[in-house]
């Protein structure tokens, strides 16, 4: 029997200032204490206190910089994350396929499993157990990128129709009961948007992510956090492309090619692309043009630094599709256009990419002071 026992015990106790310092160290590794304090407007004593607390959990390391030729004096200490202080598990499941990863604190994949499987729960739990057993570091939690809109309280209130039969709630409850770990989950597009914006040495003030998979979805990262709107549904760009219209999604392409949806594997699509299949190339060019107005709307409303495209298509297809997008489609003649964002394809493609992105959820919640919805699975008594 299960009972709701309240919040999970947190492995690390940090203040808001310490969260901000740790976020800065993760994004800008190799900075000195003086540089970090100046960037965050902190006093030397406040930063010293924060680093002392990090030392309790071995979260950061300090290494003496080397002097360039001609420089004199004591070189400064440079701070960076101790990536192996903790690890986290990332998970993505879709019909007939799942992927599980183990990542370090900077988001580097240390181990990955991807399988075709009809039975979902037991194989996934067994693979998570193997990844945890092989970890040299304590596990912060499990992050799950779900094909659904997730409420702020962790409630799933809209699952992609083609994936509605997945036992997502039962899986979360089984994982939390088996491993005594918190399970965080979020919409897959939100997961990738956050992961892309949190990459070390990136400085995005605003990043928009659009996913082209079994549907069309989006996520916006702005001001150091996922922009969720009033009801955790912001940036759902698929609403700008009607379900009855020409959508750059796998079901839409299956209808266009006249073949079953389950035939559209990466290998099959890549082969068609490299063979120059006219039906596929025409579809790519048409759907790329049809993305111009929705993405131009993103530019007008949010003016992001970057628009990142991903999903379940091979990279070469997404790159050709991006080449057909006109981000200036809504520019007004005679008025100075907005600065165009960079348009690029994510490295996080397919189920393995979504699992990698999901591994950030426990890190964001436990160490970066950012909201990750906790799966409302019940804890074991």
Q: How does DSSP assign 13-43, residue by residue?
A: ---HHHHHHHHHHHHSTTEEHHHHHHHHT--
Q: Is the pLDDT of residue 327 over 60?
A: yes
Question: CB–CB of 60/79 below 8 Å?
Answer: yes
Q: How would you label 304-339 residue by residue, b for 16+ Cβ within 10 Å and e otherwise? A: bbbbbbbbbbbeebbebbbeebebebbbeeeeeeee
Q: What is the mean pLDDT of residues 363-375?
A: 91
Q: Is the pLDDT of residue 282 over 90?
A: yes
Q: Whose CA is closest to 209, among 110, 111, 353? A: 353
CA distance 227 to 238: 16
Q: Is the pLDDT of residue 69 over 90?
A: no
β-strand partners of 56: none
- Per residue in 12-59, pLDDT (tens digit) is 889 999 999 999 999 999 999 999 999 999 998 999 999 999 999 999
Percent of the chain with pLDDT over 70: 92
Q: Please give the model's pTM, rounded to 2 decimal places.
A: 0.89
SS3 342: strand
For the record, the structure tokens of 140 come out as 């912060």
Q: Is the pLDDT of residue 381 over 60?
A: no
Q: Is the pLDDT of residue 243 over 70?
A: no
Return the pLDDT at 116: 87
Q: Is the pLDDT of residue 324 over 60?
A: yes
Q: What is the mean pLDDT of residues 135-160?
A: 90
Range with lowest mean pLDDT among 91-95, 268-272, 335-339, 377-381: 377-381
SS3 186: strand
Range with lowest mean pLDDT among 153-157, 195-199, 306-310, 363-367: 153-157
β-strand partners of 143: 90, 184
CA 149 to chain centre: 14
CA distance 99 to 124: 8
Q: What is the mean pLDDT of the chain?
A: 89
Taken in order 312, 316, 320, 325, is the CA torsion positive or negative?
positive
CA atoms within 13 A on the CB side of 281: 8
CA distance 42 to 319: 43
CA distance 363 to 211: 23
What band does 3 get if pLDDT is binned at 50, 70 and 90? very low
DSSP codes of every residue in 220-244: EEETTEE--TTTT-TT-GGGGS-TT
Percent of the chain with pLDDT over 90: 68
Return the pLDDT at 172: 94
β-strand partners of 94: 97
CA distance 176 to 181: 5
Q: Is the pLDDT of residue 68 over 70?
A: no
Angstrom distances, CA of residue 329 to CA of 11, 240, 295, 340: 49, 15, 9, 11
CA distance 306 to 181: 34
β-strand partners of 32: 78
The set of residues, in sequence order, having a beta carbon less than 8 Å from that of 185 and lying 6+ positions away, is 143, 144, 145, 146, 150, 154, 156, 168, 172, 358, 361, 373, 374, 375
Return the pLDDT at 238: 83
Return the pLDDT at 72: 61
What band does 1 get if pLDDT is binned at 50, 70 and 90? very low
The set of residues, in sequence order, having a beta carbon less than 8 Å from that of 231 and lying 6+ positions away, is 151, 152
* Higher pLDDT pick, 66 / 292: 292
């Amino acid at each position: 029997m299960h009972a709701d026992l309240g919040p999970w015990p947190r492995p690390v106790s940090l203040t808001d200032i310490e969260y901000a310092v740790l976020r800065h160290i993760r994004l800008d590794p190799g900075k000195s204490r003086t540089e970090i304090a100046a960037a965050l407007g902190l006093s030397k004593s406040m930063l010293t206190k924060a680093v002392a607390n990090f030392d309790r959990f071995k979260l950061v390391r300090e290494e003496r910089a080397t002097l360039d030729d001609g420089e004199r004096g004591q070189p400064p200490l440079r701070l960076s994350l101790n990536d192996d202080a903790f690890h986290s598990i990332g998970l993505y499941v879709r019909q007939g396929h799942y992927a599980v990863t183990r990542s370090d604190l900077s988001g580097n994949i240390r181990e990955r499993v991807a399988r075709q499987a009809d039975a979902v729960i037991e194989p996934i739990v067994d693979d998570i157990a193997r990844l945890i057993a092989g970890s040299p570091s304590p596990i912060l939690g499990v992050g799950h990128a779900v094909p659904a809109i997730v409420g702020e309280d962790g409630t799933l209130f809209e699952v992609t129709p083609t994936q509605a039969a997945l036992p997502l709630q039962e899986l979360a409850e089984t994982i939390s009961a088996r491993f005594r770990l918190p399970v965080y989950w979020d919409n897959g597009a939100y997961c990738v948007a956050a992961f892309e914006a949190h990459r070390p040495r990136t400085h995005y003030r605003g990043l928009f992510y659009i996913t082209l998979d079994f549907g069309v979805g989006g996520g916006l990262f702005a001001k150091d956090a996922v922009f969720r709107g009033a009801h955790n549904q912001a940036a759902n760009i698929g609403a700008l492309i009607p379900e009855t219209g020409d959508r750059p999604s796998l079901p839409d392409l299956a209808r266009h090619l006249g073949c079953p949806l389950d035939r559209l594997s990466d290998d099959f699509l890549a082969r068609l692309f490299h063979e120059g299949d006219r039906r596929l190339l025409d579809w790519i060019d048409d759907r790329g043009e049809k993305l111009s107005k929705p993405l131009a709307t993103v530019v007008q409303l949010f003016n992001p630094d970057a628009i990142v495209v991903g999903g379940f298509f091979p990279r070469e297809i997404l790159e050709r599709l991006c080449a057909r997008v006109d981000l200036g489609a809504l520019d007004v003649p005679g008025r100075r256009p907005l600065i165009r964002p960079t348009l690029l394809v994510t490295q996080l493609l397919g189920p393995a990419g979504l699992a990698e992105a999901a591994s950030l959820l426990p890190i964001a919640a436990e160490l970066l002071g950012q909201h990750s919805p906790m799966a409302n699975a019940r804890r074991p008594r």
